[in-house]
Amino acid sequence: MVGDDQRLTIPYWFNEMVSYRPESLKYVDGVAVHYYTDMFVSPVKLEAVTKTHPEKFILATEACEGVNAGQKNFVLLGSWERARSYILDILEDLNYNLVGWIDWNLCLDPRGGPNWASNFADAAIIVDKTNDEFIKQPMFYAMGHFSKFIPRGSRRIKVKEHKSIFELSLRHVAFITPRGTIVAVIYNDGRSQTISITIKNRQLKVKLEGDSVSTIEFQSDEVMTLQTKGIDK
């Protein structure tokens, strides 16, 4: 893999490599990309690879919270906001054909280490050796909505969303899995609401809590439609 840096650098480094040494592509399977500036850089940058060299995969190889500018707490127990950042970034990456998403830290201590460079950060699991316990953070469960239900070999499918002009769009992605099911991950960034998921002549009503992520799995057909039915007061 080449790159292993932020989205912003992909077009420059990839195009520089291809133009300077075209034969180098023979030794490249894919491109690695990091998470830390995604909130400032459009995922359209990823198309520098996917449109020109669709045979090369892109993998998100490093992500964590607690290290960005302005974040004063390396470890912030129970932070939904950090889980939300994970959810939105994974959804965005998957919709731009990234093949996976890797957290930088599986487990850290309550300080956000150990780390020889004092480069402390947050993690999905915090291990408290003093109290002989570990804490699963909201980020852990956020990742589980994807890692538990979208197995290797899944293929992303199209989702059509129908809503009124006054309703917020949902963030979502859907896959056909090797086990013959459709998995849809839906993030509702607003108030609680009820939606209908339609596949051909079948329909399922789902209530989405406000500021929540939901994963739905069911038997597969090719096209899925999301339709907002109204917002609960």
At 96 the pLDDT is 95
At 203 the pLDDT is 84
At 228 the pLDDT is 58
Residue 150 has pLDDT above 80, yes or no: yes
**Mind listing the pLDDT tens digit for each residue in 47-82?**
988 988 899 999 999 999 998 656 667 999 999 999
The token pair that represents 160 in the structure block: 């059509």
Query: With b meaning 16 or more CB within 10 Å and e meaning fewer, what string describes 42-61?
Result: ebebbebbbeeeeebbbbbb
Residue 166 has pLDDT above 70, yes or no: no
